Amino acid sequence: MEYRAITGENFYLIEMKNTCKFILENKVEDDLKNLLKINNILETVSESNFSKKFNTINKRLKSLTDNLKKQIIDTDLASARFVNLYTILCNERFILEFLEEVVKEKYDNYDYYIKESNFSNYMETKSEQSKVIESWTVEGKKKMLVKVKNFLTEGGFLERTSEGYKIIKPIVDSSVIDEIKENGNKKILNIMFY
């Protein structure tokens, strides 16, 4: 998995749920892009907005089994957020490694807070390790750290506080965990359950 700057992407939980529901209800196998556009499933305002959302959702859909598609629709909000974050982590190495190298490490050491310095230190370390990240602009690096904060907060792993971010562990429906264990990416699941 390569490092990518995904500064234009968002969490898109509602769009992901709507897309999964549409796919399952209509047994869509081909021409998903056109069908989503015709039915305005992604609720977009322009052609470029649709393309951006569709490309992101389509990339993430590849990480979902039919069972996970059903679960993201039917399960509780915390579990749906977990599944959506799982799809992001399956595609975005930069965010996955932050969860593993910063969040998990702090949690293992009974330190449940992440400060701004932890985010900037992570970016500095990754810039030294990867020519791809090193080539990102200063503005791009700042935006990527915002994405890390947003995705992990919306995914239920961080909570914003006055001191920075508090590490929390989401409570997830066991059937979601079992499905990923049996048919998904176990390595990513293990990182999510530090």
pLDDT (tens digit per residue) in 124-151: 999 999 999 999 999 999 999 999 999 9
Give the residue from 68, 88, 108 where a domain finishes.
88
When the pLDDT of each residue in the chain is averaged and rounded to a whole number, the result is 96
Range of the domain at 103: 92-192
pLDDT for 29 beyond 90: no
**Residue 36, in any domain of the structure:** yes
> What pLDDT is attached to residue 30?
85
pTM of the predicted protein model = 0.94
Give the residue from 73, 88, 103 where a domain finishes.
88
> What pLDDT is attached to residue 90?
97
Is residue 125 domain-shared with residue 47, that is, in the same domain? no
Is residue 61 domain-shared with residue 150, that is, in the same domain? no
Strand arrangement, sheet containing 158-161: 113-114, 164-167, 158-161
CB 10 within 8 A of CB 149: no
Is residue 120 domain-shared with residue 64, that is, in the same domain? no
CB 17 within 8 A of CB 24: no
> What pLDDT is attached to residue 93?
97
Is residue 98 domain-shared with residue 182, that is, in the same domain? yes
> What pLDDT is attached to residue 110?
96
pLDDT for 86 beyond 90: yes
pLDDT tens, position by position, 46-55: 999 999 999 9
**Residue 4, in any domain of the structure:** no
Dihedral sign of CA atoms 37, 23, 77, 150 in order: negative
Question: Of 92, 85, 88, 64, which Cα lies nearest the Cα of 1?
Answer: 92
